[in-house]
Structure 1
Amino acid sequence: MQKHIFNIHDVILFMTVAECILLVIFQAILPVKNKLANRLLSIFLISIAISSACILVLWNDDVKLFELFDETMLPYFLVIAQLLKGPMLLFYVISLTEDAFRFTRRHLLHLAPIAIALLWLLGFQIDSSDLRFKTLGQTETEREIANCVWHFIKIMPFFYALASVNAVRRYRISLHNQYSNFSPTEPTWLNMLSLGFLFTWSFSILVHVIANTVALDAPKVSDLFGIAENYVVFILINALFINSVVHTHKLLTTKPEVTKDKTDEKLTDSAIQKVQLGMEVQKLFLKQNLNIDEFSKRINLPVKEVSAVINKHYGTNFFEFMNSYRVEEAKRLLGDSQHADMTVMDVLLHAGFNSKSAFHRFFNRLVGMSPTEYRKQNLNKESKAA
């Protein structure tokens, strides 16, 4: 009877490798606006492909390339791929969300974990048999030395996933501080992907812990968890590609938040007055897609002072500040019988909103009822008074 080289779970690993390679090729021919993000995504996909291929060769005795790679070179490729995917995910998120992100020398520090792991492999002459814990006569100390490699390459991506989730969180805060209108869909997708990889790499640590604690008594337990991890990675790769094609080009970029000195905390009456005039006289909130940079230019006040006035004097952020004025304008139009022929869509557009869902969400939260209910209630009062 013919022996099968791959089982269905190995096929998932093989499909992950093949799909990552195909997506890298597709990324190369796809016209994109953010070339740096595109390159970082490609490197991330390549690292996932190499890591999956190394895992396949390492644990499947029937999959072999050539002896030098299988026994000696494989640990080095595995370590580099495993430790590269974390920084690449973080830099990919940052390049999508920060305006004009560029690499500097300090970013080279993120290669330090790779250098440490490679030196560990070289120093202790760790090969594939050591990583499989199948070296003849392997002592407990040698086993622990090899296991340290697994500890390191499992834990480091987890911290980068945490940093990626935090980067998305800071990005959403910056959006509220710098834009008056933005779609929540794209940031939500990015957040879900970051959380997905955080979950997956947390799960990977769990698999590793199980393999080190119960695997000797119940090897099938750790195998099942490891197989589940491969399936999750495959699903996330597909989600990542969908996001890169459909959503990333719609993401708004933000400028780094200005750190405020103690001198910045003092608000002048002049600064407060300029912001008030911009809202109440110039009615700048009526301009759709207004951001804080454009607002500051219109009122001739530096961005950091505008931000300080809104944050400290009004106790809110730019997004909430602008949309609260827009709601007041919408209330004025909805409650005036002279504008009764305007549809709710006409009202929200005239008030400066560009999203129906955002308008209804803000209006319901600030007024306590829907725009239609508000109009009906106020027009009825007006007709009774007449």
Structure 2
Amino acid sequence: MDKVNLLTTVAVVTISISLFLSLFLLTVKTAHQLSNRLFTVFLILHAIDNSVNLDYLFEIPLTGRIFISSFFFLQLPVFYLYVLSVCYSDFKLKPVHLTHIIPFLLANFVLLPRFYTVDLASKISFLAKGSSMVEVQFNHILMHVQCVFYIVAAFMILRKAKKIYLENYTGASLESLNWLFQFTVALSIFFAIAFLKNIFKFTAYPNISNGLKVGLILSELIIIFWYLYKALNNPSLFRNIDSKLKLVSEIILEEKNSNPEVINENEHSLAILTLKQYMVAEKPFLNPSLTIQEVAKDIKIPVRELSVLINHNLDQHFYDFINHYRIAYAMDILKDASKNKLTVLEILYAAGFNSKSSFNTAFKKHTGHTPTEYRKALQDKVL
């Protein structure tokens, strides 16, 4: 199979999978419809961008090819909005978000005088001298600047969202945020390779650029399959956080600026004692979706104060604080000889976890062993 056939075949498969996943995301029943719709738009834009590789099957007019290629300028802004919608439960699309289409409009606007509005012969001449045309150079620079901006912005959002989640929630969203972080890393690598491809395109080594193009299309296919696998296995993958929540470091800074009084250590000690007594007596950690707001309501301590108390005074994220009690509860079950027929899966659910991976990670972090190793060591009377 020659290179042209390979590009066309992979493009057809990638477009087909993208459209199938788009249909799945639009029809699946979930509370996160906006996130699904935004990622659907991202996939459709991706499919449109890929359609320029189908000219082996049917002819695409020159003007159409260039216009289709400019849809790249919409992909990362939509992905950025998707990340926002995944991270924050109260995210809504607003008119201000239309500013994200400015690069797309600008990229097409600069091509109006000497490409879009001229005859076919002039268009062919323009593209033949593409590497030396200021409009083409401008669009390539704009493309790469946009890539860096949105990728960095996405990582910053994910980093802050993860910190807020750790300080306020428990459950499976941490795995979701980690997965979305990995997906963003994969996209970063993809666009970095695309950047190299474009560099070689304007050098004396165009064959390297063509080789990287084949690699990019194949990697696109892998990324799409990866997301499809995740989406089909986890249709309700994400649990959002409230964008109004602040990091503990921000809360402490605000309190120092507004009320620089001496901290009452006795009050903190009493609050910590109340919290620990509540954890032992009521066992709220058995709720897999427990939030700091629920704990604050039960022990009648303002959420801000409780957040500072756990994350600052106890020097633990709320996520780790709750998991400490869950692991202790799971260890008691493992030590109970009458319950040795319970599986690890049954134990993790009984202790308040909702996934095996998060249970294994937390258990090893607190004990230095996996649950299976810990149980075996108990049986062998090592521990």
| TM-score strictly above 0.5 | yes
C-alpha distance in 2 between matches for 1:372 and 1:20: 45
Instruction: Find the partner of 1:7 among 5, 8, 31.
Output: 5
CA contact (8 A) 2:166 2:320 kept: yes
- The corresponding residue for 2:199 is 209
- Please tell me whether residue 232 in structure 1 is matched to residue 219 in structure 2: yes
Match in the other structure for 2:184: 194
**Cα shift at 1:181:** 3.5
Match of 1:222 in 2: 209
| Alpha-carbon distance in structure 1 between the residues aligned to 2:210 and 2:189 | 18
Distance 1:366 1:98 in 2: 30
Change (3 A) 1:98 1:328: same
Are 1:323 and 2:323 matched, yes or no? yes
The answer to whether structure 1 residue 54 and structure 2 residue 52 are counterparts is: yes
The answer for the alignment partner of 1:76 in structure 2 is 67
Change (3 A) 1:286 1:17: closer
- Structure 1 range deviating more: 260-269 or 244-253: 260-269
TM-score using structure 2 length: 0.79
- Secondary structure, counterpart of 2:251 in structure 1: coil
List aligned pairs for 1:290-309, cutoff 5 A: 290-309=290-309
The CA distance in 2 between the partners of 1:357 and 1:27, in whole Å, is 25
Q: 2:34 is matched by which residue type in structure 1?
A: L
Distance in 2, matches of 1:273 and 1:130, equals 82
Q: Which residue of 2 aligns with 1:175?
A: 165
Percent identity, aligned pairs only, is: 20
What CA deviation, in whole Å up to 9, does each residue of 1:221-242 have, x standing for no partner?
Answer: 1110111111111221222223
Q: Which runs of 5+ in 2 are unaligned?
A: none
Match of 2:310 in 1: 310
* 1:277 alignment counterpart: 274
SS in 2 for 1:99: coil
> How far apart are the structure 1 equivalents of 2:117 and 2:79?
28
Match for residue 88 of structure 1? 78
1:24 aligns with 2:27: no
2:103 aligns to what? 113
Matching of residues 144-155 of structure 1 within 5 Å = 144-155=134-145
After superposing the two structures, state which structure 1 stretch, 39-48 or 130-139, moved more: 130-139
Kindly indicate whether the alpha-carbon contact (under 8 Å) linking 1:94 and 1:101 is maintained by their aligned counterparts in 2. yes
Deviations 1:132-185 (A, max 9, x none): 985388497x52332322332344234323333443333333332222343654
The residue number in structure 1 matching 2:234 is 247
Question: Contact 1:177 / 1:307 at 8 angstroms: preserved in 2?
Answer: yes
2:273 partner amino acid = Q
Distance 1:331 1:168, change over 3 A: same
Paired AA for residue 39 in structure 1: R
1:262 aligns with 2:253: yes
**Shift of residue 380, structure 1, vs aligned partner:** 9.3
Moved more, 365-374 or 224-233: 365-374
Query: Which whole-Å deviations, capped at 9, do the CAs of 1:36-75 have from their partners, x for residues lacking one?
Result: 1121112111111111123554xx6x8424xxxx233443
**1:33 counterpart SS class:** coil
Please give the residue correspondences for 1:350-361 in structure 2 after superposition, counting only pairs within 5 Å: 352-354=352-354, 358-361=358-361
1:299-332 deviations in Å (ceiling 9; x for gaps): 2222222111112101121011122234445566
Cα distance in 2 for partners of 1:7, 1:113 equals 32
Q: Is 1:41 aligned to 2:39, yes or no?
A: yes
Distance 1:296 1:48, change over 3 A: same
Question: Is 2:152 the partner of 1:162?
Answer: yes
Deviation of 1:100 (Å): 2.5
**Aligned in 2, Cα 1:96/1:39: closer, same or farther, shift over 3 Å?**
same
Task: Tell me, in whole angstroms, the C-alpha distance in 1 between the residues paired with 2:354 and 2:211.
Answer: 49
Aligned residues: 362
CA distance in structure 2 between the partners assigned to 1:136 and 1:167 by the alignment: 39
- Letter of the structure 2 residue corresponding to residue 78 of structure 1: S
Q: Are the equivalent residues in 2 in contact too, given 1:162–1:198 (CA < 8 A)?
A: no
Q: Secondary structure at the match of 2:270?
A: helix
| Alignment partners' CA distance in 2, 1:164 and 1:178 | 21
Equivalent-residue separation in structure 2 for 1:303 and 1:285 (angstroms): 16
Code of the residue aligned with 1:49 in structure 2: it is A
Task: State the distance in 1 between where 2:156 and 2:123 align.
Answer: 35
1:64 aligns to 2:59 (yes or no): yes
- Report if aligned partners of 1:364, 1:371 keep a CA contact under 8 Å in 2: no
Alpha-carbon offset, residue 209 of structure 1: 1.0
Shift of 1:251: 2.0
Is 1:366 equivalent to 2:358 in the alignment?
no
On the 8 A contact 1:285/1:323 being kept in 2, the answer is no
Q: Could you state the TM-score of these two structures normalised by the residue count of structure 1?
A: 0.78
SS in 2 for 1:341: helix
Taking the aligned partners of 2:38 and 2:353, their CA distance within structure 1 comes to: 35
Check the 8 A contact 1:327/1:362 in 2, yes or no.
yes
Deviates more, 1:38-47 or 1:351-360: 351-360
Q: Post-superposition shift, 1:287?
A: 2.9
Aligned partner of 1:365: which letter?
A: K
- The residue number in structure 2 matching 1:384 is none
Q: Which amino acid aligns with 1:231?
A: L
Residues 219, 235 of structure 1: CA spacing in aligned structure 2 closer, same or farther, 3 A cutoff? same
